[in-house]
């Protein structure tokens, strides 16, 4: 499920970002070197997804639970869901209400327009 992958990637990203940071007075302040690669790129190489796709999955963790469920069910595709993740929680809930009312989900282009309107 996309939501499981999203939260797994997010946890891995947070763990890798914390790696090497001191958490107490006796910890080693040096972390492993990543050869200048971004964390999302490393995760992507390990998982078989692109760096961009890893970022998209992680972005899904900003969706309200109802929208995330629609993604898991396949009612909303990845790209529109990522665009919706930039909306605040109230706007996302409004989108859920509209989806339920009209029994239709937004396209990628429609979600981009929605983001522009809410700027």
Instruction: Spell out the domains of the chain, with CATH numbers in brackets.
Output: 2-19+38-117 (1.10.10.2830)
Residue 113 is predicted with a pLDDT of: 62
**pTM attached to this predicted model:** 0.75
> Are 78 and 49 within 8 A, CB to CB?
no
Residue 31 is predicted with a pLDDT of: 42
| CA gyration radius, the chain | 17
Residue 114 is predicted with a pLDDT of: 59
The pLDDT tens digits along the chain (119 residues) read 999 999 999 999 888 887 765 555 444 444 444 566 788 888 999 999 999 999 999 999 999 999 999 999 999 999 999 999 999 999 999 999 998 888 887 776 776 665 555 55
Q: How many CA atoms lie within 13 A of 19 on its CB side?
A: 12
> Are 65 and 7 within 8 A, CB to CB?
no
> Are 34 and 42 within 8 A, CB to CB?
yes
Q: How far, in whole angstroms, is CA 72 from its chain's centroid? A: 13
């Amino acid at each position: 499920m996309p939501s499981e992958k999203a939260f797994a990637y997010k946890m891995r990203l947070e763990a890798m970002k914390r790696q090497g940071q001191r958490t107490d007075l006796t910890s080693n302040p040096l972390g492993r070197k990543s050869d200048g690669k971004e964390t999302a790129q490393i995760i992507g190489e390990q998982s078989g997804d692109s760096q961009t796709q890893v970022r998209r999955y992680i972005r899904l963790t900003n969706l309200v639970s109802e929208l995330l469920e629609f993604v898991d069910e396949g009612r909303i595709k990845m790209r529109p869901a990522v665009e919706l993740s930039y909306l605040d929680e109230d706007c996302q809930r409004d989108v859920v209400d509209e989806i339920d009312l009209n029994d239709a989900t937004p396209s990628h282009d429609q979600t981009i327009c929605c983001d522009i309107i809410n700027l």
